[in-house]
Amino acid sequence: MRVERVLAPNPGPFTGPGTNTYVVSDGREAVILDPGPLDRGHEAAIVDTVGDRRVVAVVVTHTHPDHAPLANPLARELGTDTAGYAPGPDFEPDRLLREGDVIRVGGVALQVVFTPGHSSDHVCFRAGGVVFTGDHVLGPFPGQERTSVMVEDLAAYLESLEKILRLTPSRLYPGHGSEVDDPVALVSWYIRHRLEREREILAAVAGGASTVGEVVEKVYREVDPALFPMAARSVEAHLRKLSAEGRLTMAGEGWDARIEATR
Ligand SMILES: [Zn+2]
């Protein structure tokens, strides 16, 4: 199996240096993974990297705008199909992928691993000890050792992290940032980091914080307030998990959602 990375020109605080598009190939066949945003220059760079290999599919890990919008136009240009877990705002899959499905590229089998959490439609792709993780687990960004992920559903996310651990991978190819050669250490850190944050949030609620905003101001007191809106989304995901577990009650949503400790 050969893995080539084509970096999309969309750097930013959430995308790091940009989206990693992967051309995964074996012999004369290739699959394109996470083609990225609609960008003609990036499309040309992908087509150039593919060369005269036959593209069996254009697949996406999930349908966020930095991963999927180029998929359909690129598949049309290359005369192939798109595949993903679900349709999205700018993505129409020709084939829906489910847990355990296999995409064959030459002699390589890319297996679908359903990993909801970052988004509800997220999948990873596994080939032996290698996992392509999309936004489920990110690689390090330049000048930053670890990058944590925006999470939509925290309980699902933690389960999906455990799922990756159970695969005991030896290398990850993330959707952003560089490759990870110590995946077990990194994913274990992700899990510890989330559980630690959960303890901090519970402590803030026990200490009297009664809205999402108050929890953010306590837990993130050392963080630049410009990042509070992003922190609030993460705190809200934590609070929803804790509320679903009956460990507190929550009413409303957003910054002013009311929290009450259960006793
Ligand atoms: Zn994403």
Residues 140-173 have pLDDT tens digits of 988 877 777 889 999 999 999 999 999 999 999 9
What's the CA gap between 203 and 51, in Å, rounded? 56
What pLDDT shows up at residue 150? 86
Residue 178 makes CB contacts below 8 A (sequence gap 6+) with 139, 140
State which CATH number among 1.10.10.10, 3.30.56.10, 3.40.50.11540, 2.120.10.30 fits the domain covering 192-261.
1.10.10.10
CA of 223 to the centre of ligand 1 (A): 23
pLDDT mean over 214-243: 92
CA of 69 to the centre of ligand 1 (A): 12
CA of 120 to the centre of ligand 1 (A): 10
CA of 63 to the centre of ligand 1 (A): 7
DSSP class per residue in 36-89: -SS-HHHHHHHHHHHTTPEEEEEE-S---TTTSTTHHHHHHHHT--EEESS-BT
CA of 135 to the centre of ligand 1 (A): 5
Q: Which of 129, 145, 136, 121 is nearest to 176 (CA)?
A: 136
CA of 101 to the centre of ligand 1 (A): 21
State pLDDT tens for residues 165-211: 999 999 999 999 999 999 999 999 999 999 999 999 999 999 999 99
What's the CA gap between 258 and 181, in Å, rounded? 42
CA of 184 to the centre of ligand 1 (A): 22
Give buried/exposed letters for 23-43 (b at 16+ CB in 10 A, else e).
Answer: bbbbeebbbbbbbbbbbeebb
CA of 66 to the centre of ligand 1 (A): 7
CA of 119 to the centre of ligand 1 (A): 7
CA of 263 to the centre of ligand 1 (A): 36
Residues 2-181: name the CATH superfamily.
Ribonuclease Z/Hydroxyacylglutathione hydrolase-like (3.60.15.10)
Domain boundaries, the chain: 2-181, 192-261
What pLDDT shows up at residue 116? 98
State pLDDT tens for residues 63-106: 999 999 999 999 999 999 999 999 999 999 999 999 999 999 99
- Residue 73's alpha-carbon distances to 36, 70, 203, in angstroms, are 11, 6, 49
pTM of the model: 0.93
CA of 179 to the centre of ligand 1 (A): 17
CA of 151 to the centre of ligand 1 (A): 9
CA of 65 to the centre of ligand 1 (A): 8
Residues at Cβ < 5 Å from ligand 1 ion: 64, 135
